[in-house]
Amino acid sequence: MARQVYQAERIFDGSDWHEDAALVVEDGRVVDFTREKGVLLTGFIVPGLVDLQVNGGGGRLLNNAPTLETIHHMRLAHAGFGTTSIMATLITDGPDVTRAAIAAAKDAPGLLGLHLEGPHLDTARKGTHDPGLIRPMAADDLAVLLQAAKDLPHLICTLAPEAVGLEQVQALVGAGAVVSLGHTDCTHPTARAYTEAGASMVTHLFNAMSQMQHRAPGLVGAALSDSRLWAGLIADGFHVDDAVIQVALRAKDEIFLVSDSMSTIGSDQTSFTLNGRQIFRADGRLTLADGTLAGADIALLDAVRHVHLTLGLPLERALQLASLHPARALGLSDRGHLRPGARADFFCLMPGVKAGSCWIAGERVA
């Protein structure tokens, strides 16, 4: 790939701003910053966003069609909102669907990896997950996941201690999977024990988990007090109260934003189905018929906009929560920033925290 120079009024490299500078890209990587003239872009150049929980996009839901085509549509839909890396996420489903999703993710070019949210959860904290599909982890389930951890670029497994043993967690982590605690009513001591066994994430902090009380800290207390646990957070104005988000962000640095987006992103859908149940889209929310929240109707940039414009976080920190932080949580050193050596994933940040054009590995995709 030829040397390319992209010029902008401001460039955010993930830590610092460069004024009236240009980004030098070669072979899909950031080489340096320069003062020379290049292709003049409208807006600020900022690192591409990294979303570790993407259930769908562009009118497609991974559960409903776990195929390469679905993943391709999801990636393109989110690139239109500045997200350059996604973990395609499968919500609790049957073994055949899980195997199909693993196979599709294995062959999907450019995909960051697969996030299996369930089925090994606690039905007491099922959320929108179908309780009829939730089950304890059996030996066959573990074997499938251990092989997936070897075959996929990255694998996140959201699980509950009620359904998975410590030895199974140790085996998953040993194979290279990232274990995330979620959809659980576990106690604080149990959460600490599973962290000792290798769990390193918490899925959508505050939602579908044991809450923090003054004598029973629960999983929330473990997540906020233990720097070994990175916690994903849905900042859409519905899943978590704004005051609680502010408390969490003051409590620890190891937090990253997720979209938990469904098929509606980048589409005009007003409803869709998941596991045979209809989910309705209205007023920025996705719900089952009984009002249970069913994923989120946002792209990751919407969460950035919310914490910046509504909660008042500095733009730099808001961007880091959706780029540098999720990259670090997954152990990625070449994404989430634009320092020399990073993959050239970036987009043009427009007024109002909107997305303009977008590049992945130095190639314009939106």
In percent, how much of the chain has pLDDT > 70? Answer: 100
215 marked ligand binding residue: yes
129 marked ligand binding residue: no
Residue 2 has pLDDT above 90, yes or no: no
183 marked ligand binding residue: yes
Instruction: Please check whether residue 343 lies inside any domain of the structure.
Output: no
Asked if 113 and 77 touch (Cβ cutoff 8 Å), the reply is no
User: How far is CA 121 from its chain centroid?
Assistant: 19
What is the reported pLDDT for 260? 98
Question: In the structure, what pLDDT confidence band is assigned to residue 87 with cuts at 50, 70 and 90?
Answer: very high
Instruction: Please check whether residue 195 lies inside any domain of the structure.
Output: yes
| β-pairing verdict for 178-181 and 201-202 | parallel
Pair (61, 178) in one structural domain: yes
Pair (175, 36) in one structural domain: no
C-alpha 58/C-alpha 168 separation (Å) is 35
Average pLDDT over residues 154-170: 98
Pair (58, 12) in one structural domain: no
List, as own/partner pairs, every contact residues 140-145 make where C-beta atoms lie below 8 angstroms and the sequence separation is at least 24, other chains included.
140/95, 141/95, 142/168, 142/171, 142/172, 144/95, 144/98, 144/99, 144/102, 145/116, 145/172, 145/175, 145/177
Asked if 272 and 279 touch (Cβ cutoff 8 Å), the reply is yes
Q: What six digits make up the tokens of 342?
A: 């990073």
Pair (150, 65) in one structural domain: yes
Decide: helix, strand or coil at residue 95: helix
Catalytic residue flag (residue 260): yes
Exposed/middle/buried for residue 98 (C-beta within 10 Å: 0-12, 13-18, 19+): buried
What is the reported pLDDT for 20? 87
Question: In the structure, what pLDDT confidence band is assigned to residue 127 with cuts at 50, 70 and 90?
Answer: very high
Instruction: Please check whether residue 139 lies inside any domain of the structure.
Output: yes
Pair (33, 80) in one structural domain: no
Average pLDDT over residues 253-266: 98
Asked if 22 and 126 touch (Cβ cutoff 8 Å), the reply is no
Instruction: Please check whether residue 164 lies inside any domain of the structure.
Output: yes
Pair (90, 231) in one structural domain: yes
Pair (176, 220) in one structural domain: yes
C-alpha 305/C-alpha 353 separation (Å) is 6
Pair (38, 57) in one structural domain: no
> Structurally, how many domains does the chain consist of?
2
Instruction: Please check whether residue 340 lies inside any domain of the structure.
Output: no
Instruction: Name the pTM for this structure.
Output: 0.98
Catalytic: which of 51, 130, 260, 297?
Answer: 260
Question: In the structure, what pLDDT confidence band is assigned to residue 272 with cuts at 50, 70 and 90?
Answer: very high
Pair (126, 22) in one structural domain: no
Name the residue among 310, 326, 302, 271 with its Cα closest to residue 14: 326
Pair (8, 60) in one structural domain: no
204 marked ligand binding residue: yes
207 marked ligand binding residue: yes
Question: In the structure, what pLDDT confidence band is assigned to residue 299 with cuts at 50, 70 and 90?
Answer: very high
Instruction: Please check whether residue 233 lies inside any domain of the structure.
Output: yes
Here the CATH number for the domain that contains residue 40 is 2.30.40.10
Pair (20, 113) in one structural domain: no
Instruction: Please check whether residue 344 lies inside any domain of the structure.
Output: no
| Partners of residue 17 on adjacent β-strands | 12
Pair (243, 111) in one structural domain: yes
Quote the domain boundaries for residue 13: 4-45+349-364
Residue 154 dihedral angles phi and psi, to the nearest 5°: -150, 145
C-alpha 349/C-alpha 330 separation (Å) is 24
C-alpha 197/C-alpha 190 separation (Å) is 11
Cis peptide before 217 (omega within 30 of 0): no
C-alpha 247/C-alpha 184 separation (Å) is 22
Tell me the pLDDT tens digit for each residue of 175-191: 999 999 999 999 999 99
Instruction: Please check whether residue 268 lies inside any domain of the structure.
Output: yes
Here the CATH number for the domain that contains residue 119 is 3.20.20.140
SS3 content of the chain, % helix, strand, coil (to 5): 30, 30, 40
